[in-house]
Chains A and B, each alone.
Chain A
Amino acid sequence: MTSRRRVIWLNLGLLGLLFAAAIAAWVGMTGSIGARIYAKTLREGSAGERCKAAEALESFDSSGAPAVPALLEILRNPEDPAAPLCARALREIDPQAAYEYVTRLIGNSAPLTPATTSVFGNFGPIAWRAIPLVRGALSRPARVHAFAALIDMGDYDDELIAAIIKDARGGVDSWGARLALDRLGDVANRIQPSLLERLTSDSTPVISAMGKTIPGKVGNQSGYASGGLEGFPHSDRGYQEYALDQLSKQGARAADAIPDILTELHSKSLLIRFTAAWTDAHGILRTIRAPRASRRTERSEQSGARRRGRCHPRD
């Protein structure tokens, strides 16, 4: 091997080592090494750094176990700005530790503050035992924190929806209540139809409009018109992107939206045109072709049956 060739292979080897080190760094930082580093930040960092570390830990699952003691340390004070995010991280990493913490927090004699309510909410359904406690906050004037927390914990009955609707109609926290309505959409498939009907037929336009978006998130119950997305090409660009993204996931249920999606193919924005083409290709058209094909098969079977002098399959 000539010296020139040796130099080439030496440098290529070093480059290979560099890439191996980069991959190892990636794997390590998204695993237990990263969890240890974030745990250190949780103990020593500023409020902002603690929030960022807690947010990062959400994606760790069980590999974030080394950070559990640090998360619990912060959660000892639910008023800590990072506490809600720590609750979210803890429920992803160690649900059992999260449940035990919630049980201890319920037993705590301290009064229920908005921060504690938010911590319970961020634990989600794991904090179901705290539902009666948080429900008590509904009778207070400042109850908007309780709306979000109860919805996230899985409690959304008549009383809660009535309270949200009442606050969404106006008042100091009306926007918070409207956000709670939007949040209801994420759990729409678990809401009783009668409650949905109450929302969609409400006399206040903002409530009925938001209520109409909820069925759009429920399987087999909505069309384009009732999904709250109708006429989206006339909205601002951000909403157009959102609508196209939603429609691409609705498949054949969004068949009525095809004219509007085709309109978007002529949009001035390259991104909108791209997203519209994507929606067409991956969402609606593909799912519509399948039923059409099956209808064709059905028709040919029917005509074949008639030719053979047999009964119509539907008779």
Chain B
Amino acid sequence: MKRVVILFWFTIVLGFVVSPVAIIGVTAAKGTPFTSAASEWFGNLFRLGFNEFLIALIGGLPFSGAAVFSLFHLSAEQAPRGRWAGIAGALGAGIAMSLWIHISILTSRSSTAGIGFLLLPFAILFVMPIGYLAGRLIAKPRAT
């Protein structure tokens, strides 16, 4: 049960951390020093037109859902290995999708690219079940 609880909180933290990591990373990659990029992100947390806090919250919601799912899904007495692999697959797919969307938006020159943030949770929720199935399928031959 301890491992399940650790995974639960790890998933939640991961969900909220992806957004700042992507934003600070892209800003730093564009040439801003890392500390300045981090303080810029912090300064824009509640700033109109940036709303980094809200973006992190929106991006973290599907991961919170996945965390709740994993809490129930893996809390059985002897959770099969395939379930763990499925959750790992779902998280991997979710992170990949979240990072890809963040980087696409942040590197876009379009003035309306920010609309993409509204689609972020739906896109993550779409790929997570696919990642879960993929994880289970990968784990299945190994188990047999």
Please list the residues of chain A having a beta carbon within 8 angstroms of any beta carbon in chain B. 4, 7-8, 11-12, 15, 18-19, 22, 25-26, 29-30, 34, 49, 52, 55-56, 58-59, 237-238, 241-242, 245, 271, 275
Contact = CB atoms under 8 A, between A and B. Distances in A.
Given A4-B1, A238-B110, A241-B112, A11 B8 contact: yes
Contacts of A56: 46-48
B67 interface: yes
A238 B110 CA distance: 6
Given A8-B75, A245-B112, A271-B112, A26 B53 contact: yes
3 smallest CB-CB distances across A and B, nearest first, come from: A29-B46, A59-B48, A56-B47
Contacts of B64: 15, 19
A59 B57 CA distance: 20
B112 A11 contact: no
Contact of B68 (A12, A26, A52, A58): A12
B45 interface: yes
Interface residues of B, number: 25
Given A4-B1, A11-B8, A26-B54, A275 B112 contact: yes
Given A8-B72, A238-B109, A241-B111, A52 B47 contact: yes
A15 B47 contact: no
Given A26-B53, A52-B43, A55-B48, A238 B111 contact: yes
A226 to B, nearest CB: 24
Contacts, number: 57
A156 B113 CA distance: 35
B37 to A, nearest CB: 15
Contacts of B71: 8, 11-12
Contacts of A12: 68, 71
B107 to A, nearest CB: 13
B99 interface: no
Contacts of A237: 109-110
B14 interface: no
Instruction: Count chain B CB atoms within 10 A of each CB in A7, A49, A55 and give the residue with the most.
Output: A7
A58 B49 CA distance: 11
B17 interface: no
Contacts of A29: 45-46, 53
Contacts of A241: 110-112
A55 B68 contact: no
Interface in B1-20: 1, 5, 8-9, 12
Contact of B113 (A4, A26, A49, A271): A271
